[in-house]
Amino acid sequence: MEKRQNIYGFLGIIVHKTLEQFHEDMKMNEKRSLKGLVNLFSELWSENWTKNIEISHPDYSPEHFKKTGEKCIENYYEKHSPFNKEKTLGTEIRVHPVIKADGKEYKFQGFIDRLSKNKNNHYIIHDYKTGKRLPTEKDLANDRQLSLYQIGVQQKYSRSKKIELVWHYLRHRKNFKIELSQKNLDRIRNDTISLIQKIEKAKEKDHFPAMRNNGANCDWCDYQELCPEWGYSQENKKSKSKPIQNSLEQYF
């Protein structure tokens, strides 16, 4: 089944690529101006755009989403300029956090948007968000992705005594920063192990029932037509498009 790309995913990819290139250039002492950074975003957008990218909202054109991306870039630049408080160690850094339990070793893979160090030698894990919905404190404390990234950084960089997690909500020009205690990390590690064991048991029984959640991910899944939870046919696909669109709007 052909994989589709939607405009929200495309927007996120181009914003990430732009900020990745910006910080890689900064490592080489080449700092772009705000105008230069917006121009880079525009170039990457044009180079990667295809007519097959789906826009679920009939009232919005590609230009609307492009302007949203430009605003994300402007917000980031204006909030953090002159970019002299941290040293970027790398962008899109691959980490392989390892969790051990019951004599087994579980290895994950992740890519950190940007890893930096501040003047106090604290490691900072950055994650860029282009969505509309802001997180709660509970959301951040339970974020499995960045928690696993922290474990990966601790294992990869033995000198990483203190690690900060930063989410950049670019549309809102807001940053959320937390430091996870070892107690929180252990809790998330244990929750992850429980989930792995649940999946392993399901695999043994060959029992993977379809599960439809209430978030946006199910609404834009490429495989709705194959999923019994959706029970889609071409006839009723149009009739369900509006609730899907409404659900997506709260995130984007």
* Structural domain spans, the chain: 1-82, 85-207, 216-249
Phi, psi of 128 (to 5 degrees): -95, 135
Residue 115 CA from chain centroid, whole number: 14
Query: How many beta carbons lie within 10 A of that of residue 9, not counting itself?
Result: 15
Contact 42, 21 (CB under 8 A): no
Phi, psi of 68 (to 5 degrees): -60, -45
Matching CATH number, 85-207, of 3.40.640.10, 3.40.50.920, 3.90.320.10, 3.40.50.2300: 3.90.320.10
Q: Which of 156, 144, 149 is nearest to 114 (CA)?
A: 149
CA gap 175, 168 in Å, rounded: 5
* pTM of the full structure: 0.86
Radius of gyration of the chain (CA): 20
Per-residue pLDDT of the chain (252 residues; tens, 9 = 90+): 667 789 999 999 999 999 999 999 999 999 999 999 999 999 999 999 999 999 988 899 999 999 999 999 999 999 999 999 999 999 999 999 999 998 999 999 999 999 999 999 999 999 999 999 999 999 999 999 999 999 999 999 877 779 999 999 999 999 999 999 999 999 999 999 999 999 999 999 988 887 776 555 777 777 777 788 777 544 444 444 444 454 444 444
